[in-house]
Amino acid sequence: MSHIQHNIVTGFFSVVLLTATTAYAAESVDVIKLRMGAGSPGMGQSKSELCQGCHGENGISVDEMAPHLAGQYALYIAKELRNFQTGARTHQIMSALATTINDAELIDISTYFASQKKMQGNGQGDNPVGEKLFLKGDASRKIPACENCHGVNGKGLAPNISTFPVIGGQHKGYLRAQLINWRSGERSNSPNGMMNQFAKPLTDAEIEALADYISGL
Ligand code: HEC
Ligand code: HEC
């Protein structure tokens, strides 16, 4: 290989590497801090051993039905755990498990998972029906754009606004199940029942399309 060819080839690879690094650019410590809540990530890591069995060591789970918690807002994780404790949200496994931790543990564990590198899809959410609903909603059926609240690529509206969970890159199976549960009313713990309202008009095919698209983000 001539020098020139060699330089072109290595040049090409550095461009590819640079692009890949930019696409998965690490978030700054300051940005991550804004979603971490008030707990201790170190304490949370050890207290969350039981949780890691299903949600993964770093909050990236392998089970389609167990949501990733990595990079999720601590205050959202904490709210959901308290909702499982009180029965405002129910799930056979989680309702039982949430009552085994006290509030200090709950806060530390939430902070630990929030401190982790944010969940990331495989980038294959190439679904035009899902994409359109996500970006534009459907005004004729009073479905708002998901992006309005869940943020660009479903990564959250802002680092310090914990009301709207990260959904981009979440497991497809989990997203599908939640949308079905919002639609049926089986899950009803969103503020003012807003998610129930938005999911009500969705068809099965639209739920499938949304879960497909959002899980890829
Ligand atoms: C045996 C598996 C298992 C274990 C262990 C487990 N979880 Fe879960 N967790 C699940 C499943 C499955 C769901 C989905 C519940 C649903 O469909 O509503 C879930 C849901 C959650 C959610 C809701 C996330 C969201 O995006 O709304 C939180 C928060 C959570 N778990 C935290 C924990 C914590 C903290 C622990 C440890 C104390 C724990 N889990 C242990 C299986 C598990
Ligand atoms: C007006 C704001 C708003 C809009 C628009 C919105 N959501 Fe949500 N969504 C929320 C809030 C708030 C929650 C958290 C509910 C809770 O507190 O448990 C949520 C939760 C969810 C969850 C559960 C996440 C988890 O980890 O369990 C899914 C899935 C979801 N939304 C999907 C969608 C989709 C799909 C759309 C578009 C069709 C959409 N949302 C539009 C506010 C919104």
pLDDT tens-digit readout, 152-173: 999 999 999 999 999 999 999 9
Q: How far apart are CA 206 and CA 195, in angstroms?
A: 15
Residue range(s) occupied by CATH 1.10.760.10 in the chain: 29-114, 128-216
Q: How far apart are CA 153 and CA 166, in angstroms?
A: 9
Tell me the mean pLDDT in the region 189-212.
Answer: 98
Cβ–ligand 2 distance for 198 under 6 Å, the answer yes
Residue closest by Cα to atom 1 of ligand 1? 54
Cβ–ligand 1 distance for 107 under 6 Å, the answer no
Tell me the mean pLDDT in the region 119-131.
Answer: 90
Cβ–ligand 2 distance for 107 under 6 Å, the answer no
pLDDT tens-digit readout, 57-114: 999 999 999 999 999 999 999 999 999 999 999 999 999 999 999 999 999 999 999 9
CATH numeric code, 29-114: 1.10.760.10
pTM confidence score: 0.92
128-216 is a CATH 1.10.760.10 domain: yes
pLDDT tens-digit readout, 2-33: 444 444 444 444 444 444 444 457 899 999 99
User: Which residue reads 């879960």 in tokens?
Assistant: 211
Q: Cβ distance 70 to 34 under 8 Å?
A: no
